[in-house]
Amino acid sequence: MNDLDNLVQSARAQFAQATTPQALENAKARFLGKQGALTERMKALATLAPDERKAQGAAINEAKAAIEAALQARRAELAEAELQRQLQAEALDVTLPGRQRGQGGLHPVTLTLQRIEAIFGSMGFEVADGPEIETDWFNFTALNTPADHPARSMHDTFYVEGGTPEAPLLLRTHTSPMQIRHAVQHVKRARAAAGDTGQGLWAGEMPEIRVIAPGRTYRVDSDATHSPMFHQCEGLWIGRDVSFKDLKVVFTAFCRAFFEDDELELRFRPSFFPFTEPSAEIDIRFTRGPLAGRWLEVAGSGQVHPNVVRNMGLDPEHFIGFAFGMGPDRLTMLRYGVGDLRLFFEGDLRFLAQFR
Ligand code: DAH
């Protein structure tokens, strides 16, 4: 084997050993660079006689072509290897399970409110919504609770800037102001429909007021069964001859539907509220399940006080009805067996996700 063949062999061997593009370029320089082995041989041509130079020149060119071909081949190999390495590194396992999007759900108290609305809706009740920042008038005075009434101290609340000394603003302590707000609008519409523009109390023809008003309420109170923000749902039914008997029928039907328990017992226990007379606390008793046998308070209620009927714009000689106010938070606790009210408002997904 002559010298040039050896050189080509050697170049092929060194290219094959180069495992990176950089090493390959270095190997190339050793043969084809300015001081490369092949270049040296080309320079040496000058010293040869013309005949020899021609033959040797042709041989060198052949060797050069062979080395360049080997170089290209190795470059392609390294590029392919690099591509494979990258593909390997970025490989996607399409058989892996997908990343799930967290599934949302309704808050347990929202589920209860929807349930309340559906059940009362089926009994012909409208759903009304109103402001959480209330005036003293709607929250207390219109509900037969004047400024010096001792019942106000049971509703210690959060006062809000922006009111006046005569008309302070506060976070509503109950949903009962909605009785007045809704009834006043209802009466106004009924009067307008009857073409009556008078100012006095109304005794004309009017569709019955049958409404519930769920929403957030506030009191300065915080423990396992009280939260400074909590929910209430007000109910009101006013007509010509709506009696305490109707309250019992309606509320019993509601509770039995809500708890899906036809044997659920109810007790109307005499009580006091300024805006009802007579008044009753409503207790329920399960006949089965973990809470069976105990009386549990779920609502306040009563026949709407004549002064309140008057503040609705209605003549209490002609209109009469009942109202109730219940705690959806408590209903939710009873329905799902939750022991601490605060769990509802802490936003802990481990708790909330259980109701999805
Ligand atoms: N507003 C009362 C409270 O928060 C609950 C209540 C009692 C509402 C009797 C009523 C009612 O409508 O008739 O304690």
3-state secondary structure the chain: CCHHHHHHHHHHHHHHHCCCHHHHHHHHHHHHCCCCHHHHHHHHHHHCCHHHHHHHHHHHHHHHHHHHHHHHHHHHHHHHHHHHHHHHHCCCCCCCCCCCCCCCCCCHHHHHHHHHHHHHHHCCCEECCCCCEEEHHHHCHHHCCCCCCHHHHHHCCCEECCCCCCCCEEECCCCCHHHHHHHHHHHHHHHHHCCCCCCCCECCCCCCEEEEEEEEEECCCCECCECCEEEEEEEEEEECCCCHHHHHHHHHHHHHHHCCCCCCEEEEEEEEECCEEEEEEEEEECCCCCCCCCEEEEEEEEEECHHHHHHCCECCCCCEEEEEEECHHHHHHHHHCCCCHHHHHCCCHHHHHHHC
Ligand 1 atom closest to 179 (CA) = 12
Measured CA to CA in angstroms, residue 57 lies from 44, 46, 53, 113, 283 at distances of 10, 10, 6, 98, 114
What per-residue confidence (pLDDT) applies to 83?
Answer: 94
Cβ contacts of residue 134 below 8 Å, gap of 6+? 169, 170, 171, 172, 177
What per-residue confidence (pLDDT) applies to 1?
Answer: 55
- Residue 145 contacts residue 274 (beta carbons within 8 Å): yes
Top-confidence residue, 52 or 303: 303
**Based on the domain organization, do 55 and 155 belong to the same domain?**
no
Would you say residue 150 has pLDDT above 80?
Answer: no
Which mutation among 219, 233, 273, 305 tests ligand 1's pocket best, with the greatest number of atoms within 8 A of CB?
273
The end-to-end CA distance of the chain, in Å, is 83
**Based on the domain organization, do 165 and 203 belong to the same domain?**
yes
What per-residue confidence (pLDDT) applies to 154?
Answer: 65
Ligand 1 atom closest to 236 (CA) = 12
CA distance linking residue 322 with residue 218, whole number of Å: 24
In a domain, 25, yes or no: yes
**Based on the domain organization, do 267 and 145 belong to the same domain?**
yes
122: confidence class by pLDDT, cuts 50, 70, 90: very high
What per-residue confidence (pLDDT) applies to 109?
Answer: 97
103: confidence class by pLDDT, cuts 50, 70, 90: confident
Structure tokens at 219: 């009191």
Which mutation among 155, 227, 269, 275 tests ligand 1's pocket best, with the greatest number of atoms within 8 A of CB?
275
**Based on the domain organization, do 40 and 120 belong to the same domain?**
no
Domain stops at, among 56, 89, 122: 89
Would you say residue 196 has pLDDT above 60?
Answer: yes
Mean pLDDT of 170-194: 97
pTM for the full model? Answer: 0.73
Count of domains forming the chain: 2
In a domain, 100, yes or no: no
Top-confidence residue, 46 or 243: 243
Cβ–ligand 1 distance for 302 under 6 Å, the answer yes
What per-residue confidence (pLDDT) applies to 280?
Answer: 98
Mean pLDDT of 212-216: 98
What per-residue confidence (pLDDT) applies to 46?
Answer: 87
Q: Which of 235, 260, 197 is nearest to 326 (CA)?
A: 235
**Based on the domain organization, do 215 and 317 belong to the same domain?**
yes
Instruction: Output the average pLDDT for the chain.
Output: 93
Residue nearest atom 13 of ligand 1, based on CA coordinates: 301
**What are 59-66's contacts with CB under 8 Å, separation 24+?**
59/4, 60/4, 62/4, 63/4, 63/5, 63/7, 63/8, 63/38, 64/32, 64/38, 66/8, 66/11
Cβ contacts of residue 88 below 8 Å, gap of 6+? none
Pairing assessment for the beta strands 169-171 and 133-135 based on DSSP bridges: antiparallel
Would you say residue 155 has pLDDT above 70?
Answer: no
In a domain, 96, yes or no: no
Q: Residues comprising the binding site? A: 277
What per-residue confidence (pLDDT) applies to 293?
Answer: 94
**Based on the domain organization, do 346 and 260 belong to the same domain?**
yes
Would you say residue 245 has pLDDT above 90?
Answer: yes
**Based on the domain organization, do 288 and 174 belong to the same domain?**
yes
What per-residue confidence (pLDDT) applies to 164?
Answer: 87
98: confidence class by pLDDT, cuts 50, 70, 90: confident
Which mutation among 120, 154, 155, 174 tests ligand 1's pocket best, with the greatest number of atoms within 8 A of CB?
174
CA angle 71, 72, 75 (to 5 degrees): 85
Mean pLDDT of 6-25: 92
In a domain, 194, yes or no: yes
Q: Residues comprising the binding site for Mg(2+)? A: 277
Cβ–ligand 1 distance for 324 under 6 Å, the answer yes
Cβ contacts of residue 144 below 8 Å, gap of 6+? 274, 275, 305, 307, 308, 311
- Residue 287 contacts residue 276 (beta carbons within 8 Å): no
Residue nearest atom 7 of ligand 1, based on CA coordinates: 300
Q: Residue 346 belongs to what domain range?
A: 108-355
CATH of residue 316:
3.30.930.10
**Based on the domain organization, do 114 and 262 belong to the same domain?**
yes
Residue with tokens 């009927």: 309
Distance 211 CA to ligand 1 centre (A): 14
In a domain, 200, yes or no: yes
